[in-house]
A and B are shown apart, each in its own frame.
Chain A
């Protein structure tokens, strides 16, 4: 099993540019989570999907952030326009199959975003 795949692994961009982070969950998993990790705030849940449907996006910082899951094998997190305070490591995780609170989440390696 390839695990959760994230791309790119590193992204450096200038303030105001659009950034798109990508995630491929583990095949057969039906829940997908986007997290942000910083030194100041720790690990924050941004949004999660169940069966491709957004369930809770209350962690999305503001309208500059958007996430989509067009099918069971792909999700994107977009920041437009990006700001220096968005610099962080962004993790994608998936869990399943079939949902259920007992299913642990499997994390991808993360995307380190730097906005200058």
Chain B
């Protein structure tokens, strides 16, 4: 079965510091992996996704993630945090079932950015 584990429900960084949000997955098939961001009182929006090809994926707002098959990881990073990055971040892996396209979400990591 597919599953996602996000290490750390809360992460706090200073403005300008490196952001690292951890995600490990379990999948019985080659996974498609996603990071979503949720700002307060809003829906989730896609930051980036990995399907095939290059394992380093760049997304919006300066975020990137690297797919490491040997470590079953897909950690999200940003070199320099900005106050506007404060939000909740969700990692997701594609579910099984052919063309249905469902996603399995992690429990989320809330990012705080200190001035």
Q: Which residues of A contact B107 (CB under 8 A)?
A: 42-43
A101–B96 Cα gap in the complex (Å)?
A: 8
Q: How far is the CB of A7 from chain B (nearest CB, A)?
A: 14
Contact A31 B100 (CB under 8 A): yes
Contact A43 B108 (CB under 8 A): yes
Q: Which residues of B contact A16 (CB under 8 A)?
A: none
Q: How many residues of chain A get a CB closer than 8 Å to chain B's CBs?
A: 27
**Which of A4, A91, A100 has the most chain B CB atoms closer than 10 A to its own CB?**
A100
State the majority secondary structure of interface residues on B: loop
**Which of A55, A56, A100, A104 has the most chain B CB atoms closer than 10 A to its own CB?**
A104
Contact A101 B45 (CB under 8 A): no
Cβ of B115 within 8 Å of any chain A Cβ, yes or no, is no
Contact B45 A107 (CB under 8 A): yes
Among B51, B98, B103, B108, point to the contact of A105 (Cβ < 8 A).
Answer: B103
Among A45, A50, A106, point to the contact of B99 (Cβ < 8 A).
Answer: A50
Q: Which residues of B contact A43 (CB under 8 A)?
A: 44, 90, 105, 107-108
A100-B108 contact given A91-B44, A107-B43, A107-B44, CB 8 Å threshold: no
A102-B32 contact given A43-B90, A107-B43, CB 8 Å threshold: yes
A-binding residues in B (CB < 8 A): 32, 34, 36, 42-46, 49, 51, 90, 94-95, 97-103, 105, 107-108
Q: What are 28 of the A-B contact pairs (CB < 8 Å)?
A: A4-B43, A31-B101, A31-B102, A42-B108, A43-B108, A45-B102, A50-B101, A55-B100, A56-B97, A91-B44, A95-B101, A96-B101, A98-B99, A99-B99, A100-B99, A101-B94, A101-B95, A101-B101, A102-B49, A102-B94, A104-B46, A105-B46, A105-B101, A105-B103, A106-B46, A107-B43, A107-B44, A108-B43
